[in-house]
């Protein structure tokens, strides 16, 4: 078989692959873009776009049930048509994927290959019957839901974040195993759709990477909506019980018996079936591809972007990986992963926006710090909207006045956080925030007030 030669090969059409293909082809290079399943990756097909469409439907149902709180009367009870919710979600996802496919199809010098890519050598890849070769290869293969080998897990039908997208019936009782970001979004949305929901988490608190006050607040929010949460659960096992599934945990506790079980226990990189050993590409003990600060792997001419490199597990970090690679290759701009400030959101309602260091991390660093807090009950816009759960917290270096981190749990928290994030990128002192005049009424208008009321972190 004669190999087809390209200037570059990109394996994976997630959030980094297609924009990189666009930049490379615009620079005159020929590109082979390889995708084994669906263009758009996790975000478009099973992650951000479809789930946030469902979160929007869940919010509408929740707000409708609260109509009387706003002086609005509805005739009859609020119902949910889950098939219509799924159809709306599917349209959002399908439209986005279709637009992306059209964009790729319109790129000059870009050939899209459908199939599973495997390395033959460090510069040669096989896709089905095609053998492709290039001097530069970029990996953007993403990740998938982890399925730990828990007792009985192979004896039941379980769901993951991906297979949840195919579900076309509303569960009577959804048992969610795992108490982190993905699991909590699904737990709340399905409770709002009308399912009974139980969350089982082995850690002593939810989303354990967050500060304890954040974890406690989110636990309260979920429990207030009727979600049952079991923390510190160990010895988790599964068994069929008639047409349902029993999840047992912690000796002495009654099992949770559900119609459906969602496993939300972390992510595994899609690197185990690429024949990386034939290319000599190094991976760590968890299977993530080892990269340097500019996303170069252990093999010259091979880069890794997105979830497969362990440098971030978000659409925005994957896209930023593309920007870093393109800047270094095409713009003579030495951008680095270490320039990135950690930032993300949890899309429960209210959402959590997070950037920089947590309070726990600041304490561990040993530096002197200042902290500012404001509950949403003291934020006019939150009171006006009738959404006063949560709080805002800013952490500042006491000596340099550098903003170290921020948490905004409350209405619009996923948007308001950028007020602080952008200042951190600008390396502006907290006085810049304190002197800013924000628009009233707004949640973010209280951020300058918090910056004026900092106290020593005890």
Domain ranges for the chain = 4-144+268-339, 153-265, 344-456
Cis omega (within 30 of 0) for bond into 85: no
Whether domain 4-144+268-339 has CATH 3.50.50.60: yes
The CA distance from 384 to 374, in Å, is: 16
Tell me if residue 333 falls in helix, strand or coil.
coil
Backbone phi, then psi, for 233, in 5-degree steps?
Answer: -80, 125
Beta bridge partners of 343: 355
Q: What is the C-alpha separation between 279 and 298, in angstroms, rounded?
A: 10
Topology given in CATH for the domain delimited by 153-265: FAD/NAD(P)-binding domain (3.50.50)
Q: Are 337 and 319 in contact (CB under 8 A)?
A: no
Nearest to 431 by CA among 412, 451, 447: 451
State the pLDDT at residue 263: 98
The sheet carrying 256-258 orders its strands as 237-241, 244-248, 256-258
Secondary structure E strands in 87-224: 110-114, 117-121, 124-127, 130-139, 143-145, 173-177, 196-200
Measure the CA–CA gap between 293 and 334, rounded to whole angstroms: 10
Rounded to two decimals, the pTM is: 0.95
Element (H, E) at 258: strand 256-258
Give the rounded distance of the alpha carbon of 162 from its chain centre.
Answer: 13
**Distances 342 to 154, 404, 417, 425 between C-alpha atoms, Å:** 36, 11, 12, 11
Question: What is the rounded CA–CA span in Å between residue 34 and residue 141?
Answer: 10
**Residue ranges in the chain whose pLDDT is less than 50:** none
Residue 121, strand partner residues: 124
Q: Which CATH number fits domain 344-456: 3.30.390.30, 1.10.1060.10, 3.90.1150.10, 3.90.550.10?
A: 3.30.390.30
Other beta carbons within 10 Å of 347: 20
CA distance 445 to 225: 28
Identify whether the C-beta of residue 73 lies closer than 8 Å to the C-beta of residue 37.
no
Q: Kindly give, in sequence order, each residue whose CB lies less than 8 Å from that of residue 305, ignoring residues fewer than 6 positions away.
A: 16, 17, 20, 138, 139, 140, 295, 318, 321, 322, 325
| 440: annotated active-site residue | yes
Same fold, 4-144+268-339 and 153-265: yes
So what's the pLDDT on residue 1? 64
């Amino acid at each position: 078989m004669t190999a087809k030669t390209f200037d570059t090969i990109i394996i994976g059409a997630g959030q980094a692959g297609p924009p990189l293909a666009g930049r490379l082809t615009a620079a005159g290079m020929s590109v082979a873009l390889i995708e084994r399943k669906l263009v758009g990756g996790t975000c478009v097909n099973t992650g951000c776009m479809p789930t946030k469409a469902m979160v929007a439907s869940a919010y509408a149902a929740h707000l409708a049930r609260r109509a009387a709180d706003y002086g609005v009367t509805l005739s009859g009870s609020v119902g949910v048509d889950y098939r219509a919710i799924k159809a709306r979600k599917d349209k959002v996802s399908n439209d986005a994927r279709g637009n992306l496919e059209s964009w790729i199809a319109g790129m000059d010098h870009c050939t899209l290959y459908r199939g599973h890519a495997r390395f033959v050598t460090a510069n040669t890849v096989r896709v089905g019957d095609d053998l492709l070769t290039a001097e530069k290869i970029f990996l953007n293969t993403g990740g998938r839901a982890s399925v730990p080998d828990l007792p009985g897990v192979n004896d039941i039908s379980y769901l993951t974040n991906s297979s949840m997208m195919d579900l076309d019936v509303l569960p009577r009782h959804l048992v969610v195993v795992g108490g982190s970001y993905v699991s909590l979004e699904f737990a709340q949305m399905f409770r709002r759709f009308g399912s009974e929901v139980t969350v089982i988490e082995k850690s002593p608190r939810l989303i354990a990477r967050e500060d304890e006050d954040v974890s406690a607040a989110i636990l309260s929010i979920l429990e207030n909506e009727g979600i049952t949460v079991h923390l510190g659960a160990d010895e988790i096992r599964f068994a069929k019980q008639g047409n349902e599934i029993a999840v047992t945990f912690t000796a002495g506790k009654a099992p949770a018996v559900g119609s459906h079980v969602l496993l939300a226990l972390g992510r595994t990189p899609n690197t185990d079936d690429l024949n990386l050993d034939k290319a000599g590409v190094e991976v760590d003990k968890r299977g993530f591809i080892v990269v340097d600060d500019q996303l170069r792997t252990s093999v010259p001419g091979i880069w890794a972007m997105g979830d497969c490199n362990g440098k971030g597990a978000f659409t925005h970090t994957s896209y930023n990986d593309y920007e870093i690679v393109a800047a270094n290759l095409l713009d003579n701009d030495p951008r680095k992963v270490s320039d990135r400030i950690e930032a993300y959101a949890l899309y429960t309602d209210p959402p959590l926006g997070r950037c920089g260091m947590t309070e726990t991390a600041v304490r561990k660093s040993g530096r002197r710090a200042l902290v500012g807090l404001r509950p949403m009950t003291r934020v006019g816009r939150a009171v006006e909207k009738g959404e006063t759960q949560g709080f805002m917290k800013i952490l500042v270096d006491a000596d340099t006045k550098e903003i170290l981190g921020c948490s905004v749990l409350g209405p619009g928290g996923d948007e308001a956080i950028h007020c602080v994030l952008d200042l951190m990128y600008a390396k502006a002192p907290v006085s810049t925030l304190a002197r800013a005049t924000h628009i009233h009424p707004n949640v973010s208008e209280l951020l300058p007030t918090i910056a004026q009321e900092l106290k020593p972190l005890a």
